[in-house]
A and B are shown apart, each in its own frame.
Chain A
Amino acid sequence: FTEMRTDNFVESSFWNFDALFQPQQHPARDQHDTFFLLDPAEAPQLPPGYSTKVKKVHSQGGYGSQGYRYEWKVEEARKNLLRTHTTSASARALFQLARQEKFTPVKYFSIDRVFRNESLDATHLAEFHQVEGVVADRGLTLGHLMGTLRQFFTKLGISQLRFKPAYNPYTEPSMEVFSYHEGLKKWVEVGNSGVFRP
């Protein structure tokens, strides 16, 4: 897996949410969960052709989807924030991949810091790290995703795994990965995953 660039804590709502099909009126985009910026408040540049496509998919649909059918606003997309997940970096990496003349299969990974506007307690910090992996190829299935996750967790010493249906705005099907914790004597969530929506 090749390491992705993640050298921007500051991200635009466009890459953090809109390009990942997270609707603009979603509660996660509220002040409560996300750190928005006072300065610089807005991203000066959004990728022109691509942002038009994103606008269309949200408001009218496209690529086989009905979309959300609401009025997509570019001002919302410009709002700067501290990234809430490293998936925004994956989105950027996939965007670059898509602009290659010829498609090549890739495997990417990143391990970097993310930010959530939460009150601190015994199990929650406002800053933490995420490990993220992406595989892009022809003919991939949900079975491939499960196989890759099993290999990854086995290398971490976690081999008793179960997969549970979940929801992310940008993946369908989505899965949460659970592992049996011998000490706690129960199944605990160790990861989240999915197949990107077409």
Chain B
Amino acid sequence: ARGLLINQNSRSSFTADEEFDELCFEFGLELDEITSEKDIISKEKGEEKAKGASDVVLYKIDVPANRYDLLCLEGLVRGLQVFKERINLPRFEKIIPAEGEGQRLVITEQTAQIRPHAVAAVLRNITFTKDRYDSFIDLQEKLHQNICRRRALVAIGTHDLDTITGPFTFTAKAPSEIKFKPLNQSKEYTASQIMDLYRTDSHLRHYLHLIENKPRYPVIYDSNGVVLSMPPIINGDHTKISLNTRNVFIECTGTDITKAKIVLDIIVTMFSEYCEKPFTVEAVEVVYPNGKTHIYPELAYRTEKVKPEYINKKVGISETPSNLAKLLTRMCLKSHVTGNGNHLEVEIPPTRADIIHACDIVEDAAIAYGYNNIQMVIPKTYTIANQLPLNKLTELLRLDLAAAGFTEALTFALCSQEDIADKLGMDISATNAVLIANPKTTEFQVARTTLLPGLLKTIAANRKMPLPLKLFEISDIVVKDPNTDVGARNYRHLCAIYYNKSPGFEIIHGLLDRVMQVLEVPPNEENGYTIKAAEGTAFFPGRCAEVFAKGQSIGKLGVVHPDVITKFELTMPCSVLEINIEPFM
């Protein structure tokens, strides 16, 4: 979901706040917050800085991630008004200029290596106000952030057409050969200088890497060599749009042609509303390196046939075909009944790129019907269920460990590398641990290979509690395993710790015996369990034993080494038991 701030006046055709909230809810929008510019600045920078800011009520609305047509005020209001049957969805018209009169964008072969695709369109005789202009810029930014994947897939450039002359050329040149005055700068820079110029810019520095180390940078020129833009970084100052701009040239360049087309369609369908001939868009001819040409924008309408019974069956309602047609039309999917009354023809407009399967149409019908009007039923089929054996075993052991006087802890599965290696006297390479590539802090460097650090940290956080501290956890650890399809697997470990003025090895040993008793594993070597003296870097020398059962080593118990105790910021001795319980299923 993404947020959209709209001011109260825009929803004035809907009466109260509650009514608007209800409407948003039914439609699938979340009215996240009711705020104002003053409130926002107050929260971020304090009340002093907020003085003089606008008091106008703003609605923060969360929009579903696949609805690009609801990302700006124009689209949102239009969608809601069609939903409430106050207007019909406008019909978008592509105007193809007479031969020789339209704009052309020529793509050269040099772009192939860096940014091969480009589409373009013109909005004629448009009238901007401050609000419309802000909305126009805002939509581009929102599209950049989501469908354009932070400009990597598509970058949008909008230009005052009256400041330039076509035909336009989209090419790629060496950075030293590109020189222009970037938007809002006062002098010309070469492309390499532009990279340096914006290296510290809080907004643009995130996009530099998209072209920085390439031999050629993308650039768009007009027929007089004026630079329109250097996608995806920045437009030229020459073509900047003002409130007086009447004709807009829009270009979208990128590495994904499907998304470039969608983005262009969205921009023109949203803002052609303000053209002298509303909802018309002037086409541009794009010429490819191989000489082929294509007219953009696509602005395609397509028709899908759906059976009314399919919709009724999937939702669990029984509406007549003509009612279903009305419902879909309210969702901007203009529909009518055809055939013998047993088919629906649904027209998908260019604003609904999210409709890719009949189930998308089903959802829209259900939304218009009102989810909360659907009758709730229970699936009729009886099933016989089972608990997962490993979890059943875990649940039983938890109860018995608690009955033995130990308190359960629930700790994080991610920890620092030190926690499972250095602090336990080991090298990380000996742990067979799974390593995280992009942790935000050291606390998320690795997945735990043992439950011990978690319990030691829990004790450290509870030092003020009365002694003895007796904790346990039965949960998963993670290790690398080349025999699994992903290369790693979980093991269910049981870990118990006793922390007191004396280490209590006999208590931990007694707990192991109790666990084996409830698991009905006898204390002998042939068909039960046994313990043998062993070494362990985390354990006090001579006070460590290895546990064997079911023909394998299942873990260790012993007195924790004083170095380990100190490294976890503890001061008392303690004993610990840690075993793998999976062999006992």
Q: Is A11 an interface residue (CB 8 A)?
A: yes
Chain A residue contacts of B440, Cβ below 8 A? 117-119, 126
Number of A-B contacts (CB under 8 A): 213
Q: Is A174 an interface residue (CB 8 A)?
A: yes
Q: Please, which residue of chain A has its CB at the minimum distance from the CB of B482?
A: A44
Chain A residue contacts of B30, Cβ below 8 A? 164
Q: Is A56 an interface residue (CB 8 A)?
A: no
A165 touches B478 (CB 8 A): no
B447 touches A82 (CB 8 A): yes
- B101 smallest CB distance to A (angstroms): 32
Known: A37-B434, A105-B383. A165 touches B371 (CB 8 A): yes
User: Interface readout for A26-45 with B: 1 if CB under 8 Å, 0 if not?
Assistant: 01000100011111111111
Q: Is A197 an interface residue (CB 8 A)?
A: yes
Query: Complex formed: what's the CA distance from A165 to B437 in Å?
Result: 35
Known: A140-B379, A141-B314, A143-B315. A166 touches B28 (CB 8 A): yes
Quick one: which of B2-25 are within 8 Å of A by CB?
A: 25
B383 touches A27 (CB 8 A): no
Interface-forming stretch among B166-174, B277-285, B387-395? Answer: B387-395
Q: Is B378 an interface residue (CB 8 A)?
A: yes
B381 touches A12 (CB 8 A): no
B437 touches A38 (CB 8 A): yes
Query: Complex formed: what's the CA distance from A154 to B152 in Å?
Result: 46
Interface size on A, residues (CB 8 A): 75
B377 touches A80 (CB 8 A): no
Quick one: which of A149-195 are within 8 Å of B by CB?
A: 150-151, 162-167, 169, 172-175, 195
Q: Is B363 an interface residue (CB 8 A)?
A: yes
Query: Complex formed: what's the CA distance from A69 to B507 in Å?
Result: 63
Chain A residue contacts of B413, Cβ below 8 A? 9, 113, 115, 127
Q: Is B583 an interface residue (CB 8 A)?
A: no
Chain B residue contacts of A148, Cβ below 8 A? 378-379
| CB-contact partner of A36 in B27, B375, B436, under 8 A | B436
Query: Complex formed: what's the CA distance from A11 to B381 in Å?
Result: 32
Known: A40-B487, A105-B383. A147 touches B376 (CB 8 A): yes
Query: Complex formed: what's the CA distance from A87 to B110 in Å?
Result: 44
Q: Is B467 an interface residue (CB 8 A)?
A: no
Query: Complex formed: what's the CA distance from A47 to B485 in Å?
Result: 9
* Most A CB within 10 A of own CB, among B26, B363, B387, B486: B486
Query: Complex formed: what's the CA distance from A147 to B380 in Å?
Result: 11
- A53 smallest CB distance to B (angstroms): 15
B378 touches A147 (CB 8 A): yes
- A176 smallest CB distance to B (angstroms): 8
Q: Is B358 an interface residue (CB 8 A)?
A: yes
Query: Complex formed: what's the CA distance from A33 to B358 in Å?
Result: 31
A173 touches B414 (CB 8 A): no
Chain A residue contacts of B146, Cβ below 8 A? 27
Chain B residue contacts of A137, Cβ below 8 A? 379, 381
Quick one: which of A127-149 are within 8 Å of B by CB?
A: 127, 135, 137, 139-144, 146-148
Known: A141-B316, A173-B366. A41 touches B488 (CB 8 A): no
B480 touches A40 (CB 8 A): yes
| CB-contact partner of B436 in A11, A45, A82, under 8 A | A82
Known: A38-B436, A65-B356, A67-B356. A3 touches B149 (CB 8 A): no
Chain A residue contacts of B412, Cβ below 8 A? 126-127
A40 touches B488 (CB 8 A): yes
| CB-contact partner of A1 in B149, B385, B476, B478, under 8 A | B385
Query: Complex formed: what's the CA distance from A135 to B366 in Å?
Result: 20
- B487 smallest CB distance to A (angstroms): 3
Chain B residue contacts of A70, Cβ below 8 A? 256, 258-259
- B84 smallest CB distance to A (angstroms): 16
Chain B residue contacts of A3, Cβ below 8 A? 385-388, 391
Q: Please, which residue of chain B has its CB at the minimum distance from the CB of A106?
A: B383
- A138 smallest CB distance to B (angstroms): 9
Q: Is B372 an interface residue (CB 8 A)?
A: yes
Query: Complex formed: what's the CA distance from A164 to B313 in Å?
Result: 20
B485 touches A12 (CB 8 A): yes
User: Interface readout for A88-129 with B: 1 if CB under 8 Å, 0 if not?
Assistant: 000000000000000001110000010101110000001100
Chain A residue contacts of B289, Cβ below 8 A? none
Q: Is B96 an interface residue (CB 8 A)?
A: no
Known: A82-B447, A142-B374, A163-B372. A36 touches B390 (CB 8 A): no
- A44 smallest CB distance to B (angstroms): 5
Query: Complex formed: what's the CA distance from A172 to B311 in Å?
Result: 12
Q: Is B179 an interface residue (CB 8 A)?
A: no
* Most B CB within 10 A of own CB, among A36, A137, A173: A173
- A65 smallest CB distance to B (angstroms): 4
Quick one: which of B253-268 are within 8 Å of A by CB?
A: 256, 258-259
Known: A7-B390, A37-B437. A150 touches B376 (CB 8 A): yes
Query: Complex formed: what's the CA distance from A4 to B447 in Å?
Result: 22
Known: A25-B149, A148-B379. A7 touches B476 (CB 8 A): yes
Query: Complex formed: what's the CA distance from A174 to B437 in Å?
Result: 32
Q: Please, which residue of chain B has its CB at the minimum distance from the CB of A176?
A: B30
A64 touches B316 (CB 8 A): no
- B441 smallest CB distance to A (angstroms): 9
Q: Please, which residue of chain A has its CB at the minimum distance from the CB of B361?
A: A172
Query: Complex formed: what's the CA distance from A126 to B436 in Å?
Result: 13
Q: Is B225 an interface residue (CB 8 A)?
A: no
Chain A residue contacts of B164, Cβ below 8 A? none
User: Interface readout for B237-258 with A: 1 if CB under 8 Å, 0 if not?
Assistant: 0000000000000000000101
- B408 smallest CB distance to A (angstroms): 15
Interface-forming stretch among B60-68, B128-136, B155-163? Answer: B60-68
Q: Is B203 an interface residue (CB 8 A)?
A: no
- A45 smallest CB distance to B (angstroms): 4
Query: Complex formed: what's the CA distance from A37 to B66 in Å?
Result: 28
B149 touches A27 (CB 8 A): yes
Chain B residue contacts of A172, Cβ below 8 A? 357, 359-360, 362-363
Going nearest first, the 10 A-B pairs with the smallest beta carbon separation are A143-B316, A141-B316, A165-B28, A40-B487, A167-B64, A173-B363, A147-B376, A10-B488, A3-B388, A65-B357
In the assembled complex, 24 residue pairs joining A and B whose CB atoms fall closer than 8 Å, in A order, are A8-B488, A9-B447, A10-B487, A27-B145, A27-B149, A38-B436, A40-B480, A44-B486, A61-B356, A105-B383, A113-B413, A115-B413, A115-B414, A117-B439, A127-B413, A142-B366, A144-B377, A148-B379, A162-B25, A164-B371, A173-B363, A173-B366, A195-B359, A197-B357
Q: A25-B256, A44-B485 are in contact. List 18 more A-B contacts (CB 8 A).
A: A1-B383, A3-B386, A7-B492, A9-B447, A11-B486, A12-B486, A25-B153, A27-B149, A35-B439, A107-B379, A141-B314, A141-B377, A143-B376, A147-B376, A165-B371, A173-B315, A198-B358, A198-B359
